Amino acid sequence: MRTDWMPRKREEQLALARKWLETLPERGTEWEVSPTEIAELGVLTASAEEAMRRAEAGDGNRTLNAQAREAFNALVGFMRIMRRRRFTTPPLIDSDWTSLGMRPPDTIRTPHVVVNEEVDFVIGLRGIRELEVDFWISGSSHKAKPSGYDGAVIVWGERALPPEHPEDFVHHTMASRTPHLLQFDEAERGKTVWVALAWQNERGILGRWSEYKSAVVP
C-alpha cells in the first residue's frame, strides 16, 4: 500500500502546492514558515506549471521534458523539506493537515517508521556541465534502493566549503534510481559542488545524511 503523502501525478502535485499557497499566507506565521519560503514555493510552483505546459505542447521534445522533470524535482524537493522542517515541530493537529490538502499522519506504529539505512555514493563526470551521482546502501554489495523506500534525497550546492547543515544546501531532489544526473549551466563550469544524500521511505521519513562529497563541474 502506498503511504507517501506526496502525489505521483504532476497535476496532483501542482494542486497540492496551490493548496499550500492558499493556506500559508494566513497560517504560515504560527508554523514558522517565512514569507521568503512562501514566495519561493510560489516561484517553484509557477515554474513547474509552465514547464509542464511547454513539455506537453512540445510533443515529446527531450529538452522540454527534461526541463519539466527538473522543475518538478525542485518543487517536490522543496515541499518535502518544508513539510519536514515546518509541519512536524510543533506537530500540526488534524484540521491543520486538512487545510494543507493532506491527510493527517498515521499515529499508529507500523513498519518502516525509522530509516536505519545510510547512503554511500560517488560523484563522477558524465559530460560537459554534468555530474553523475552513483549511490547505494552503505555497506551493501548491490545498488538496489531499500525495499519500501521512495529513493534517496539529494541536496547540493556550489560552495567553497560544505555547509553546517544539509538543509542549507540550495538544491534538492528525490532520486528513485541510481545513478542520478545533475546538470549545470555554462556559468557554473569550474565551480566546486558539494553533495549529500539520505534515504527516504514511503512514509516520508528521512534517514541520516551521508558525509559531504564534492566535485568540480566539468
Instruction: Assess whether pLDDT exceeds 60 at residue 108.
Output: no
Burial class of 205 by CB neighbour count within 10 A (0 to 12, 13 to 18, 19+): middle
- The cell for 26 is 494566513
Q: Is the pLDDT of residue 88 over 90?
A: no
Of 48, 69, 99, the residue that ends a domain is 99
Q: Both 91 and 124 in a single domain? A: no
Does 104 reside within a domain?
Answer: no
Q: Are residues 85 and 152 in the same domain?
A: no
Same domain? 51 vs 129: no
Q: How far apart are CA 132 and CA 182, in angstroms?
A: 6
Residues 144 and 206 in one domain: yes
pLDDT per residue over 141-188, tens digit each?
888 888 878 899 999 999 989 888 888 888 888 898 899 999 998 889
Q: What is the mean pLDDT of the chain?
A: 87
Same domain, 94 and 154: no
Strand pairing partners for 199? 152
Same domain, 128 and 211: yes
What CATH code is carried by the domain that includes residue 205?
2.60.40.10
Burial track 98-114 (b if 16+ CB lie within 10 A, e otherwise):
ebbbbeebeeeeeeeee
Please indicate, yes or no, if residue 183 is contained in any of the structural domains.
yes
**Domain count along the chain:** 2
- The average pLDDT across 93-111 equals 73
135 pLDDT higher than 50: yes
Comparing 166 with 189, which gets the higher pLDDT? 189
Domain assignment of residue 79, yes or no: yes
- Do 124 and 66 lie in a common domain? no
- pLDDT for 113 equals 63
pLDDT at 1: 44
| E-assigned strand segments in the chain | 119-127, 130-137, 149-158, 171-175, 180-183, 192-201, 213-216
**Shared domain check, 166 and 125:** yes
Does residue 140 sit in the same domain as residue 84? no
Range of the domain at 62: 10-99
Question: What is the rounded distance in angstroms from the CA atom of residue 194 to the CA atom of residue 165?
Answer: 12
Count of CB atoms within 10 A of residue 52's CB?
A: 21
Give the tens place of pLDDT for each residue, 22-43: 999 999 888 889 999 999 999 9
Residues 78 and 131 in one domain: no
Q: 194 lies in a domain?
A: yes
Is 111 among the domain residues? Answer: no
This prediction has a pTM of 0.54
